[in-house]
A and B are shown apart, each in its own frame.
Chain A
Amino acid sequence: MTGVLPAELGEHAFLRGLPAEYIARLAQVAAAVSVPAGHRFFEEGGRAVQIWLIRTGRVALDLHVRGREPLIVETVGGGQVVGLSWVCPPYEWQYGAQALAPTTAITLDTTAVLSYCDQDPVLGYQLIRRLMTVAADRLHASRIRLLDLYAAPSQQAGAT
């Protein structure tokens, strides 16, 4: 893991538009990450204390439903983020996460980030706005997936 320049951090789509002073502050608690396919970022139930801003590659969020291999619930790629559970209680990962392909990312120490936000609510507001957008997009997409639009009529909810 190596340090991260503010310029590199500022490039990521998630932080676009964030004032430079905040970028610089966040860069102090950031580290560059490069992992091979198969790398597990975290497991369900673990303490959530990081966020990853994915640069290249692909990460799967998964849940152990039955058997050995977990089922993927969502995949995330470059320009997106992995790890939201640090924002609110119970501060535990709700899913596991695994790189499906060689992946590079910038990770932030979210304990430090939250401390910065407590001291400077403006930073906090900026980050929450961005996190809310990610969550809303994923919620919307999840609802669309639940509509099961590609199902045959006999497969649809309510079909006899």
Chain B
Amino acid sequence: MEEAGQARLMDVTALSQLHAALRGAGYQVIGPTVREGAIVLRELHSADELPFGWGVDLAPGGYRIKQRADRAAFGHSAGPQSWKQYLHPSREKVWSVRRTDGGFELEDGHEAASRLAFIGVRPCDLRAIGIQDQVLGRGQHAASRYAARRAGIFVVAVNCTEPGQTCFCASMGTGPRAGQGYDLALTELLGDGTHRFLVEVGSQAGAALLAQLPTTPADEATVTSGRAAVTAAADRMGRTMPADGLRELMADSHSAARWDDVATRCLTCGNCTMACPTCFCTTVEDSTDLAGDHAERWQVWDSCFSLDFSYLPGGPVRASDRSRYRQWLTHKLGTWHDQFGSSGCVGCGRCIVWCPVGIDLTEEVAALREEAAARDNEDRPAGQAQQADGAP
């Protein structure tokens, strides 16, 4: 935790200088911007491209941008994309191979990873990056393409003061304040005619960059009110999803009737997996050119909702819609713990917004809890049952 004395204040105009400093340091700057009726992540050519004055209305299966009464740059919550499209691209070449007399040989070709700077990383998304690190960047993957990209990024996180209607980061313990993993963290402060940012440093690289920007020491009152605004946001979440015992709930719910209910609604379209910042599944596509001399393997995003995902000779293991929705949810909230040591959900709410039929996992989980509780009550008799020999 930063001490009050270490936090700095900067005016909104300094965002341009932040952008310039990042460019000057050789980074490609990525951040939110308004494009075709949504706030999406794109390369920013200047800080002016940030979505000043734009907010969003979020609902299950609904997303609309709207004009805000103020000029907040970060007055919106999770858009359709997450930072995973940069760290874990939807399409990338794994190898290319050339046919030779003896057979074939691997062609060299490692594109140097460009260095990316992310501006506007929400605490939920920051945690999501950390979660993907556990899957794609650890252990045997330490030398992977993901790890190389990941090592080169610069993160400017933005704490939340205004959660969206579908947000529940507080329930998942991932926000509204950014946890570790940022170089700089901003808290946007608007009011009494000023537009400023509280800036906290999270790394040496962050400190070095901040030193190039016009900042003033933050006074205690400002720091306190800034922190309080973020803390208060935790009580204004659009959704809650108590996370206690979720792993056990998922493990105990395989035969729940609720899955049949969801299956009548779920289209298995996989939007949720595309929008989710932690979903990581991929498949590979092998192809050759027409002459058959050159073959390439591409890694592309895949979704457990696809019928093909669990294919074995003889048919897929998860043929029914029910089993595929169950796989996604029980993995995300349950077996992810077993596999990677944490929950897979960060409470960003994207899956709720981008589901075309508006399935809300917080509702599904609540229903599963009720069903589990009812099941437990059935198993336990109302009173102490007497045994035939009179013993309790």
Give A residues with C-beta under 8 Å from B: 152-153, 156
- Give every chain A residue within 8 A of B313 (Cβ-Cβ): 152-153
Please provide the chain B residues from 344 to 367 with a CB less than 8 Å away from any CB of chain A in the complex. none
Least CB separation from A156: chain B residue: B314
Least CB separation from B313: chain A residue: A153
Please provide the chain B residues from 279 to 322 with a CB less than 8 Å away from any CB of chain A in the complex. 313-314
A152 to chain B, nearest CB (A): 8
A153 to chain B, nearest CB (A): 5
- Give every chain B residue within 8 A of A152 (Cβ-Cβ): 313
Bound CA–CA A152/B313 (angstroms): 8
Bound CA–CA A153/B313 (angstroms): 6
B310 to chain A, nearest CB (A): 15
- Give every chain A residue within 8 A of B314 (Cβ-Cβ): 153, 156
4 chain-A/chain-B pairs, Cβ below 8 angstroms: A152-B313, A153-B313, A153-B314, A156-B314
Give B residues with C-beta under 8 Å from A: 313-314
Least CB separation from B314: chain A residue: A153
Bound CA–CA A54/B105 (angstroms): 63
What does DSSP make chain A's interface, helix, strand, loop or mixed?
A: loop
Bound CA–CA A68/B62 (angstroms): 75
B308 to chain A, nearest CB (A): 15
- Give every chain B residue within 8 A of A153 (Cβ-Cβ): 313-314
Least CB separation from B315: chain A residue: A153
Q: Which 3 A-B pairs have the closest CB atoms?
A: A153-B313, A153-B314, A156-B314
- Give every chain B residue within 8 A of A156 (Cβ-Cβ): 314
Bound CA–CA A7/B149 (angstroms): 80
A92 to chain B, nearest CB (A): 40
A91 to chain B, nearest CB (A): 43
Least CB separation from A153: chain B residue: B313
Bound CA–CA A108/B313 (angstroms): 49
B168 to chain A, nearest CB (A): 44
A160 to chain B, nearest CB (A): 14
A84 to chain B, nearest CB (A): 34
A128 to chain B, nearest CB (A): 31
B181 to chain A, nearest CB (A): 47
A102 to chain B, nearest CB (A): 42
A149 to chain B, nearest CB (A): 10
Least CB separation from A154: chain B residue: B313
A42 to chain B, nearest CB (A): 40
B371 to chain A, nearest CB (A): 34
Bound CA–CA A80/B313 (angstroms): 37
Bound CA–CA A153/B314 (angstroms): 5
A148 to chain B, nearest CB (A): 11
Bound CA–CA A82/B381 (angstroms): 50
Bound CA–CA A156/B313 (angstroms): 11
Bound CA–CA A152/B314 (angstroms): 8
B317 to chain A, nearest CB (A): 14
A146 to chain B, nearest CB (A): 16
Least CB separation from A159: chain B residue: B314
Least CB separation from A151: chain B residue: B314
A77 to chain B, nearest CB (A): 32
Bound CA–CA A100/B347 (angstroms): 69
A81 to chain B, nearest CB (A): 36
B356 to chain A, nearest CB (A): 34
B141 to chain A, nearest CB (A): 33
A70 to chain B, nearest CB (A): 33
A97 to chain B, nearest CB (A): 36
Least CB separation from B312: chain A residue: A153
B26 to chain A, nearest CB (A): 53
